Each structure stands twice: as C-alpha cells, then as structure tokens.
Amino acid sequence: MIVDSKVERLVLTHKDRLLRFGSELIFSLCEQFGTEVVIINRTEDSTFEEDLAQDVLEIITVFSARLYGSRSHKNRKIVEELRDVATRIQD
C-alpha cells in the first residue's frame, strides 16, 4: 500500500513496533513514496553504532528464542515417548 501511495501517514507508538530490526528500510520507502512517519513515543536520537548494536542484540534474542523453543519441543517429545514406554512397561 505504501508503494502504491495509498498510505498518507504511518503512526507508530514506538520506533521498534513496526519491525524488530531493519525498520529504516520501511522508513526509507515511506519517504520515497510520500508517506509521513509519526512516532509518538520518541526516545532520544541514537547514533548509527547504537542502532546497529541494538539490531544485533535483537537478532540474537530472536534466534536464541527459536533455538530454545525447538529444544523445548524436542524435550517434550522425548518426555511423551518416555511416558508411553513407561505405560507399556506397567501394562
């Protein structure tokens, strides 16, 4: 919709509510296609290095959550299989 110039204004409560990281790409698209970006709760302007560090931390957080989530799924499956085996042994 932004690319089709159908959005006049994009209003966000916080800068990171649009995307976890890489929101600058969307902001550039908005600028190119004449969409105003309004961020209601602006924090102090950060440097490029601070933004980059924040993006890296968010990437690490996302991938570690996925890793731990997949481990959790595997562990649940193992526990279920052990319960099945224990039930069979008892019968």
Question: Read out DSSP for the chain?
Answer: -TTTT--SEEEESSGGGS-SS-HHHHHHHHHHTT-EEEESS------HHHHHHHHHHHHHHHHHHHHHHHHHHHHHHHHHHHHHHHHHHH-
pTM of the model: 0.47
- 3-56 residue pLDDT tens: 888 889 988 887 777 776 677 888 888 999 999 998 887 776 778 787 778 778
Domain layout of the chain by residue ranges: 1-43, 46-91
What span, in angstroms and rounded, lies between the C-alpha atoms of 29 and 3? 7
The reply to whether CATH 3.40.50.1390 applies to domain 1-43 is yes
pLDDT of residue 36: 92
Res 91 pLDDT > 80: no
- 47-88 residue pLDDT tens: 878 777 877 888 888 888 877 777 777 777 877 888 888 888
